[in-house]
């Protein structure tokens, strides 16, 4: 079954708005696990506007499910990952000023850089994933760089889905098929929701993992965290 990793960045954003520890990011992560999440995702940015480096250190020894840390692999990020050693690292091409990830890697142009970075993480025993668009060439060059998995950037799917679900999912099925032929694992994330997740899952049932934050945390405001996580997991069955 496809795993659900809950991205808790938005919980940290709410906490940071008041400067105290409410909501408690670590407790929310533990509650997500208790309610059925298969993993926890965080994206510690250099300015620490949501997840802080201290959160990462606190979370690692307490989580019992898969810990996925995503980010741009600058020196600070690499140092953090090699110290913490999560189960998975997801490399994204974000600049420090970006509000959110809005594109995948040009894995062909960045082949040498990605290969060097991925080698460091693989030597440390960390599973590697590279964030890419639904583009066969980008998937192929991620494989050449040595990535264990690719994470498909699904915002274009989410945008087109309400108008034409079949057209929206088609390039993702093609890219997912390429990844499978290359022997790579497959993740997906960005703007996935209760409205569009099940359709993606049915089209690509071999997805290893989806990472969802914004929509899931927003839904939890209305449904409650436990029910929301179960609703998302129901979309993956």
β-pairing, 185-189 vs 88-91, is unpaired
Location of structure tokens 């290359």: 182
Pairwise CA distance, residues 165 & 30, whole Å = 34
Catalytic residue status for 190: yes
Q: Residue 234 in contact with residue 202, Cβ under 8 Å?
A: no
Which pair of structure tokens corresponds to residue 8? 């808790």
Q: Where do the DSSP E strands lie in the chain? A: 3-7, 39-42, 66-71, 88-91, 127-132, 149-153, 185-189, 209-212
149 contacts: CB under 8 Å, gap ≥ 6: 88, 127, 128, 129, 130, 179, 184, 185, 186, 187, 208
- Catalytically annotated residue among 66, 70, 140, 151: 70
Pairwise CA distance, residues 90 & 127, whole Å = 9
CA-CA-CA-CA torsion sign (102, 99, 83, 38): negative
- The H or E element containing residue 65 is none
Closest CA to 56 of 38, 36, 77: 77
Location of structure tokens 């959160």: 55
- Catalytically annotated residue among 33, 43, 140, 151: 43
- Catalytically annotated residue among 140, 151, 190, 209: 190
Closest CA to 187 of 174, 201, 199: 201
Catalytic residue status for 50: no
Q: Which residues have a catalytic role annotated?
A: 43, 70, 190
């Amino acid at each position: 079954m496809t795993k659900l990793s809950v991205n808790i960045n938005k919980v940290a954003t709410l906490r940071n708005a008041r400067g105290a520890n409410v909501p408690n990011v670590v407790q929310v992560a533990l509650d997500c696990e208790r309610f059925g999440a298969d993993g926890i995702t965080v994206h510690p940015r250099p300015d620490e506007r949501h997840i802080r480096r201290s959160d990462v250190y606190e979370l690692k020894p307490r989580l019992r499910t898969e810990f996925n840390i995503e980010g741009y692999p600058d020196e600070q990020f690499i140092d953090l990952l090699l110290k913490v050693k999560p189960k998975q690292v997801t490399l994204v091409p974000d600049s420090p000023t970006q509000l959110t990830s809005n594109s995948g890697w040009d894995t062909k142009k960045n082949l040498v850089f990605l290969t060097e970075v991925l080698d460091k993480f693989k030597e440390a025993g960390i599973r590697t994933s590279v964030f890419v668009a639904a583009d066969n060439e980008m998937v192929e060059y991620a494989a050449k760089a040595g990535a264990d998995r690719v994470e498909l950037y699904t915002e274009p799917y989410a945008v087109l889905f309400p108008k034409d679900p079949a057209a929206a999912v088609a390039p993702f099925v093609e890219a997912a098929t390429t990844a499978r032929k290359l022997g790579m694992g497959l993740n997906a994330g960005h703007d996935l929701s209760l409205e569009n997740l099940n359709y993606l899952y049915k089209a690509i049932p071999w997805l290893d993992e989806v990472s969802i934050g914004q929509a899931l945390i927003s839904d939890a405001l209305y449904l409650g965290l436990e029910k929301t996580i179960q609703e998302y997991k129901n979309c993956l069955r």
